[in-house]
Structure 1
Amino acid sequence: MALEIERKFLVKNDAFKNEALKKQKIIQGFLSSVPERTVRIRVIENLGYITIKGIGNASGVSRFEWEKEIEVEEALNLLKICEPGVIDKTRYYIKSDNHTFEVDEFYGENNGLIIAEIELISENETFTKPEWLGKEVTGITKYYNSSLVKNPYKLW
């Protein structure tokens, strides 16, 4: 199992789109959304994935993560038995010095929400913050995809 060290931020505007190296359509659901063991099924373009994440540490920055590529047909079938709700989003990849921000623009029940994530080597690692980066929401569970399925942005 690998340790995921990640920080999350709201995004102020769509200026990030001009800096994107690529973008991908993502659909995902959850077989389990309990914080101790979130099990996610994801389809990115023509690839399928199953991911298991553990509960975050006290700061919300680090948690265990295991991911495996699966056949897209398997992922589509597993999505049919997921908990109610689906995450529909486009992910943009933006290079910033030695890091890459992944910016998710949500649709459907979460339309209007845009969140940027950056993976780090350590919790104290420094990085350049682009102008379009807004308030940090690391560790705030309502911004987790597994929470957005149950309590979508449109209901806030």
Structure 2
Amino acid sequence: MGIEIERKFLLQSDAWRSQVQHSERMVQGYLVGAQAVRDGTASASVRVRRAGEQAWLNIKSATLGIQRDEYEYPVPLADAEAMLSSLCKGALEKIRHHVVVDGALFEIDEFLGDNQGLIVAEIELDAPDMSYPRPAWLGREVSTLPRYYNVNLSDHPYVRWTLAERDAVDAVVRPDAGQTEWDQALLDQTRLDQSC
């Protein structure tokens, strides 16, 4: 079984840009998306993604949190293009920047189109409690907030977010421990996100 353990963060500065080692444009669409997951008719999202001359089909469990079941398979580029144009409701576009800090890879997604203005950093870990570097440009953690999941961004893009959604205080970060303490505001916001 494939398991993804991933933490997601907002960014508090553009200082990461000077550390970019590689960037690639990505386009992805959902064959089974947020609405089916919310309705309970699906327990996973199914997405097709194209990056350069490569493409993948991805199945990810609809569980909340940093650890989710994930399966990914390469598909022919022509098939991916056909799925994106005929089977997906819309496309999510972004530029993924690769930044390495102390040996750890941060994938920084700079969204385009209806999600332009949103930039998030993701880091994949081997274990949920694994330590990781916290560069000064890394902002608050949003790993458990469904509105930041790509599947939800395709359905409810950043340009349609309210000011309250953009500015919500979701987590209290303890920089000394490098971990996150969830407060009551996060629990309330998570319930709100799940009801949307």
TM class by shorter chain equals over 0.9
Contact residue 97 and residue 128 of structure 1 kept, 8 A:
yes
For 1:67-112, what per-residue CA distance to the aligned partner results, in whole angstroms no more than 9, with x for missing partners? 0111111100011233422111000011112310000000100000
AA aligned to 1:96 is V
In 2, the alpha carbon distance for the partners of 1:103 and 1:80 equals 26
Larger relative strand fraction: 1
AA aligned to 1:20 is V
2:51 paired residue among 41, 44, 52? 44
AA aligned to 2:44 is R
AA aligned to 1:30 is Y
In 2, the alpha carbon distance for the partners of 1:19 and 1:82 equals 37
Root-mean-square deviation (CA), in Å?
Answer: 1.2
Who is 1:73 aligned against? 78
Task: Output aligned runs, 1:1-150, within 5 Å.
Answer: 1-33=1-33, 34-35=36-37, 36-56=43-63, 60-150=65-155
Q: Which runs of 5+ in 1 are unaligned?
A: none
Larger relative helix fraction: 2
Q: Comparing both chains, which one has the higher relative contact order based on Cα–Cα distances under 8 Å and sequence gaps of 6 or more?
A: 1
Q: How many residues align?
A: 154
In 1, the alpha carbon distance for the partners of 2:125 and 2:16 equals 20
* SS of equivalent residue, structure 2 residue 114: helix
Q: Which runs of 5+ in 2 are unaligned?
A: 38-42, 162-196
* TM-score (ref. length: structure 1): 0.94
Identity of aligned pairs, percent?
36
The answer to which of 133-142 and 14-23 deviates more is 14-23
